[in-house]
Structure 1
Amino acid sequence: MPSFHNGAVEIAYLDEGEGDPIVLVHGFASSKNVNWVYPTWVSDLRKDGRRVIALDNRGHGDSAKLYDPAQYAIPEMASDVVALMDHLGIPRADVMGYSLGGRIAANIALTSPQRMRSAIFGGIGMAMIEGGGPGENVALALEAPSLDDVADPVGRTFRAFADQTRSDRLALAACMRGSRGLMSREDAGRITVPVLIAVGTTDEVAGPAAALGALIPGAEVLDIPNRDHMRAVGDKVYKAGVIDFLSRRP
């Protein structure tokens, strides 16, 4: 698996296919494989004639594990994505992020719009602005001696997932604490790149998609029917909507 360094931080990535580049940014406690390879996003986007790049966020997958929450601030994580584009010599790309990855993509859209042809925010709506969802309860669950010591139901879900994927739980706890920064309504209104917001209709983590769409000029909203936060990732409606959006963006 190829990797590069953004400063002292080693970032693992994949780079497959040919055509217009799209960079995929996974969600918290996931990885490029779990979020994008196994649900066939990489192969489906390649079949659509695209070059697909996906990274393991810092603290995740095969990338470097860090234990200082400050190293997981959203701008820091966004810098890994831009540095990967620089490493590969890609001046502009479509960028799709899911959940935490959507928050990272939104930061790039705000601070480096010249690097994006479009942005796709999957699994994230008004939680990007108002917060909510997993928090300190998840960090504490990840730090607990075992799953049996976790009573909080949301914490148990994330702890079980981290155990299943053999993730570095302490790195994930630091990431959870460091990546909670929110975007203001005013900054959302300053995003100028074409945006698609795709959220499952039963997603209780992301927050309302339409409310976020109303803040971002020209944003499109895609409702993924009867899907929650976890099950929306590989949904066929989501995939078809993204491919349609990419075919229409300037």
Structure 2
Amino acid sequence: MSIEPQYFDARDGVRLAWREMGEGRPVVLLHGLFSSAEVNWIKFGTAARIAAEGYRVVMPDLRVHGSSAAPHDAALYPPDVLVNDLADLVAHLGLSAFDLGGFSLGARTSVRAVVAGMAPGRLILGGMGLAGLAGWQRRGQFFKRVIAEYDSAKRGDDSWLSIQFMKTMKIDRIAAGHLLDSFTDTPPDALAALTMPTLVVCGDRDRDNGSAEDLVAALPDAVLATIPGTHMSSVTEPELGQAIAAFLTA
């Protein structure tokens, strides 16, 4: 199914999109790098599974992704710009009591938002391990190389699949490079701010962002749900929506 986007302007005037499904308590879900709300949450039924439990699922397209704008001006990508965008969406929708989660980059952004003072009732971190929060530089260098090798990588190269995904999603490489520069690390001691109940949900063959078990151990109140798949494939599995729905309704 397809859901038409709605739009708002972030504090810097950049036009951003979001999609919604369902009614009830809001849960804001942030997609992964080079993905979109439609691909990450809607296409494979995850949002519908959560909405069926009586939730209003709010799914922004992050800056540079999906139906949102991808400006080329480097000044529009200050540190943690995605946290600013999330705060602007929450304010635009007038959300007070809500839950928050994300997959991969969306999980990183959710953590950064809580560290910055956002206070969702519950937190969902998909496709994320401890190293993906504290050691972004290694992961970030990989994606810088993905952009650099966009036209030269060959099948079998470690950057090949990410490049094909970028091409499928029509990601603007200049804007994506600026966005990568805006990401910041979260040291383990900062995770003490994540006091709310937290679900860490990760594929059984997903180690792209380090150990999910280590992340659970570092959080004050977290549980782990292991689902089938790699980092790329786990978002396609029905178990992702089932795990999130079970956590929210427990």
TM-score by length of 2: 0.89
Asked if 1:9 corresponds to 2:14, the answer is yes
Map of 1:152-167 to 2, 5 A cutoff? 153-167=157-171
Conserved? CA contact 1:132–1:205, under 8 Å: no
Q: What is the match of residue 202 of structure 1?
A: 205
In the alignment, the residues of structure 1 paired with residue 200 and residue 247 of structure 2 have an alpha-carbon distance, to the nearest angstrom, of: 10
> Which consecutive segments of 4 or more residues in structure 1 shift more than 4 A?
68-74
Q: What is the match of residue 64 of structure 2?
A: 59
Q: What is the match of residue 236 of structure 2?
A: 234
In the alignment, the residues of structure 2 paired with residue 232 and residue 14 of structure 1 have an alpha-carbon distance, to the nearest angstrom, of: 22
Conserved? CA contact 2:103–2:125, under 8 Å: yes
Q: 1:191 to 1:243 in 2, by over 3 A?
A: same
Please tell me the root mean square deviation across aligned C-alpha atoms, in Å. Answer: 2.0
Map of 1:1-250 to 2, 5 A cutoff? 1-7=5-11, 8-67=13-72, 71-72=76-77, 75-114=80-119, 116-126=120-130, 127-131=132-136, 134-144=139-149, 146=151, 149-151=152-154, 153-179=157-183, 181-225=184-228, 227-248=229-250
Conserved? CA contact 2:129–2:207, under 8 Å: no
Unaligned runs of 5+ in 1: none
Quick one: which amino acid aligns to residue 232 of structure 1? S
**How many residues matched?**
243
C-alpha displacement of 1:137: 3.8
In the alignment, the residues of structure 1 paired with residue 31 and residue 72 of structure 2 have an alpha-carbon distance, to the nearest angstrom, of: 19
TM-score by length of 1: 0.89
- Residues 17-41 of structure 1 show CA distances to partners (whole Å, capped at 9, x for unaligned) of 2111111100100011111111112
Secondary structure of 1:92's match? coil
Unaligned runs of 5+ in 2: none
C-alpha displacement of 1:132: 6.5
